[in-house]
Chain A
Amino acid sequence: MGTGLALYHMLLSSTVKANVLSSLKLMGKGMLGVFIVMLLIYLVVVILNKTSGSKENKK
């Protein structure tokens, strides 16, 4: 484990390490953002289906 970490630090330059960290943050924030948007759309569609569907059925 120690050897692996040492190899990792040796192989990656500081810029690459910073970019890898940025990408991990981007992955977390990006997937969270996508899911929040999709969940909100999901909720709105469910509400729309419930409300407008029943109104138009009555008509």
Chain B
Amino acid sequence: MRVVTVVIAIAFGVMILAGYFIPALSDVQTLFLNWAIILTGAAALAGIFNLLSVHGEKIRRREKGSPYSALLILSLLMTFLFSLAQGLSNGYMRLLLNDVMGTILNGVILPAEAALMSILAVTLLYAAIRLLRRRVDLMSVIFLITAAVVMFGSATLPIGNMPVFGALRSWIAEVLAIGGARGILIGVALGTLTTGLRVLFGADRPYGGK
């Protein structure tokens, strides 16, 4: 059975890859990718069941944070029911449910994500300050000096803009940072290529158990 799984996975992988270079196979490639998208939708459903079972178990065992788990499940079920009713209803009821779903999105989800984003800004600043405490080496010092120069060059200071920092910021961003990022991205691309080839050869099998 395991051999069949590997053969199917490799055959589909090779056909998808060949579809990029052989025009005759591009229709087959599109078909397989559409199947994959449908399977992704089914996987999302499995993901929701996973979320429900993990948090349901937390509530059952009365673990730390179980009230939050209960709130999560309640919110998930309510949103699901409202969405379902929205799809099935019409007329005034549909308008009302549109408003409810809009409120959930604009009044709960987006502000919560924006709040996390704002916490992120403080977290990053704090992490930069702690860096020297955690790791005192040349790279950390260069990292912090570069970050400071870029910030001074980008921000409007009370004493006015400092042209030296502005020019330095541009040079760092346009020469050093882009050069470094390209080098890193080339490394990442090569890593992705060899990882993909390993899966295509069946040497790595993140499916079917080996």
Question: Is chain B found bound to chain A in the same assembly?
Answer: no
Interface residues of A (CB under 8 A from B): none
